[in-house]
């Protein structure tokens, strides 16, 4: 279900920072979606690894909040 992908593959995506992220940096995640999957990365390491999950898996995750 979860696969890591290179930043180069996900570089053309429009990234959005979590609404829970503060202005002081801290622990933040960014997500980007397309028709196939949701991509997740650490906002402090934008050139680091990206986790890709299915849209269904993401919907299940955020539905548990």
Is 64 within a domain?
Answer: no
- Indicate whether 62 belongs to any domain: no
For residue 35, the 8-state DSSP code is S
Whether residue 33 is predicted with pLDDT greater than 80 in this model: the reply is yes
Q: Is the pTM of this model over 0.75?
A: no
Give residue 14's domain range.
1-18+27-54
Domain count, the chain: 1
Mean pLDDT of all residues in 46-59: 90
Where does the pLDDT of residue 1 fall: very low under 50, low under 70, confident under 90, or very high at 90 and above? very low
Alpha-carbon distance of 65 to 59, in angstroms, equals: 10
pLDDT digits 0-9 by tens, 13-30: 888 887 776 666 667 888
């Amino acid at each position: 279900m979860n696969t890591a992908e290179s930043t180069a593959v996900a570089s053309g995506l429009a990234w959005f920072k979590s609404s829970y992220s503060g202005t002081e940096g801290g622990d933040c995640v960014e997500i980007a979606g397309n028709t196939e999957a949701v991509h997740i990365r650490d906002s402090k390491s934008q050139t680091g690894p990206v986790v890709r999950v299915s849209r269904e898996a993401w919907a299940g995750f955020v539905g548990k909040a």
